[in-house]
């Protein structure tokens, strides 16, 4: 028995020496960074990831190689976040809704009708509040490098146009499952149903749900117009995404690589924000040819927003009273 143990230890030692020798023999081996996406490559998030990859690889002279896996190839948002958290993958680009399962404070960005415009959202996420959210993420094992976007999400349905608060009554609307989303739509009079995005088209087609909310880019690219009649421009959620890296992996990288990753990400975010509005406008124009599209009068939007915001205080403790109050002050809703 003793002889077997000694032989086993010698084998393990030999393997460790061999592994160490391999590293010494190839000190210039590229750093591989796998990036998991739930979106397709022609989506704004896919376009962002491509630009980030190209810039990082060019600036590092190939020392870093980024491998992008789009369209859920590495699993759903939760599976990809778990893989990043455990260090089995390096990066995923996810929504704050997804990340809030691991970093509750991110849930403050889940609130409906939170930002009146994109500029307010940028000020929040790129400023002190964004930095604070980043610290909470690091405590949970994640490094958030930046916030690209898809833009504001609009509501489609097969029942009636949403022109006033009462039009939500009884409509079965798909949500992403966040508790505050469910509570918000109930407050508006709708019947929210949690459905995975991969099952959404068939759920709409089979009338399991009547409605859904997404950016005009996603609505068009996923051909929801084939199973939906009405598109109401209400800006229900601002759709930011978080570039999320394993924090230990980030800290293990040489400082110059860390700097390049962050700077290239921020530059790609800036470009993403420049093009998203144009993309959504382009797809909106296409949707106007195949759906009934309407805006909502300001006084009716004010009624809708007032009801939606009445739910906020119930979730202040869940996201953290401090960060909640900071965001409310930033949007003028103290």
Residue-wise pLDDT for 273-296, tens only, equals 999 999 999 999 999 999 999 999
CA angle 300, 306, 312 (to 5 degrees): 150
In angstroms, rounded to a whole number, what is the distance separating the alpha carbons of residues 108 and 329? Answer: 13
pLDDT digits (tens, 9 = 90+) for 3-33: 333 334 333 334 333 344 434 547 779 999 9
C-alpha atoms less than 13 angstroms from C-alpha of 193 in its C-beta half-sphere = 19
Rounded average pLDDT over 156-183: 96
- Which domains does the chain show, CATH number per domain? 2-330 (3.40.190.170)
Using alpha carbons, select from 232, 98, 211, 243 the residue that is nearest to residue 152.
Answer: 232
pLDDT digits (tens, 9 = 90+) for 89-109: 999 999 998 999 999 999 999
Rounded average pLDDT over 109-132: 95
pLDDT band with cut points at 50, 70 and 90 for residue 334: low
Burial class (CB in 10 A: 0-12, 13-18, 19+), 25: exposed
In angstroms, rounded to a whole number, what is the distance separating the alpha carbons of residues 315 and 104? Answer: 11
In angstroms, rounded to a whole number, what is the distance separating the alpha carbons of residues 118 and 36? Answer: 26
In angstroms, rounded to a whole number, what is the distance separating the alpha carbons of residues 15 and 9? Answer: 10
Residue 308: which region, alpha, beta or left (left: phi > 0; alpha: psi -120 to 50)?
alpha
Rounded average pLDDT over 63-77: 96
In angstroms, rounded to a whole number, what is the distance separating the alpha carbons of residues 333 and 223? Answer: 36
Q: Residue 243 has what DSSP assignment?
A: E
Q: Which two tokens stand for residue 242?
A: 């978080």
For residue 15, the model assigns a pLDDT of 37
User: What distances in angstroms separate CA 175 from CA 69, 203, 237, one per listed residue?
Assistant: 25, 12, 11
* Alpha helix stretches (DSSP H) within the chain: 2-25, 44-59, 77-86, 96-99, 118-126, 128-139, 179-188, 200-205, 216-221, 247-252, 255-287, 298-309, 316-319, 321-330
Q: Which two tokens stand for residue 59?
A: 């600036």
Q: What order of strands is seen across the sheet that includes strand 142-146?
A: 64-69, 31-37, 91-94, 242-246, 142-146
For residue 333, the model assigns a pLDDT of 84
Q: Are 106 and 136 in contact (CB under 8 A)?
A: yes
User: What distances in angstroms separate CA 97 from CA 67, 107, 112, one per listed residue?
Assistant: 24, 6, 12
Residue 268: which region, alpha, beta or left (left: phi > 0; alpha: psi -120 to 50)?
alpha
3-state secondary structure of 294: strand
For residue 24, the model assigns a pLDDT of 52
Rounded average pLDDT over 101-126: 95
In angstroms, rounded to a whole number, what is the distance separating the alpha carbons of residues 234 and 256? Answer: 43
Q: How many residues does the chain have?
A: 334
């Amino acid at each position: 028995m003793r002889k077997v143990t000694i032989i086993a230890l010698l084998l393990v030692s030999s393997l460790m020496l061999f592994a160490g020798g391999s590293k010494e023999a190839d000190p210039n081996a590229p750093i591989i960074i796998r990036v998991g996406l739930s979106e397709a490559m022609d989506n704004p998030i896919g376009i962002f990831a491509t630009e980030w990859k190209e810039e990082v690889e060019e600036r590092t002279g190939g020392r870093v190689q980024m491998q992008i896996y789009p369209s859920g190839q590495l699993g759903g948002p939760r599976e990809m976040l778990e893989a990043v958290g455990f260090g089995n993958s390096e990066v995923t680009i996810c929504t704050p809704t997804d990340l809030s399962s691991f970093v509750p404070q991110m849930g403050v960005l889940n609130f409906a009708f939170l930002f009146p415009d994109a500029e307010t959202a940028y000020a929040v996420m790129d400023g002190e509040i964004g930095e604070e959210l980043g610290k909470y993420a690091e405590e949970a094992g994640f490094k958030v490098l930046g916030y690209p976007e898809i833009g504001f999400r609009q509501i489609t349905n097969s029942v009636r146009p949403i022109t006033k608060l009462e039009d939500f009554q009884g409509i079965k609307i798909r949500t992403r499952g966040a508790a505050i989303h469910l509570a918000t739509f109930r407050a508006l009079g709708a019947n929210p149903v949690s459905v995975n995005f991969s099952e959404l088209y068939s759920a709409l087609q089979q009338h399991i749900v009547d409605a859904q909310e997404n950016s005009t880019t996603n609505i068009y690219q996923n051909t929801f117009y084939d199973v939906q009649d009405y598109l109401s421009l209400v800006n229900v959620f601002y759709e930011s995404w978080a570039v999320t890296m394993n924090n230990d992996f980030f800290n293990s990288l040489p400082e110059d690589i860390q700097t390049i990753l962050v700077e290239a990400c921020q530059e790609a975010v800036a470009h993403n924000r420049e093009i998203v509005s144009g993309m959504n406008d382009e797809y909106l124009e296409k949707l106007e040819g195949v759906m009934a599209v309407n805006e909502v009068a300001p006084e009716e939007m004010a009624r809708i927003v007032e009801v939606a915001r009445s739910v906020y205080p119930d979730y202040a403790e869940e996201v953290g009273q401090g960060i909640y109050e900071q965001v409310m002050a930033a949007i003028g809703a103290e």
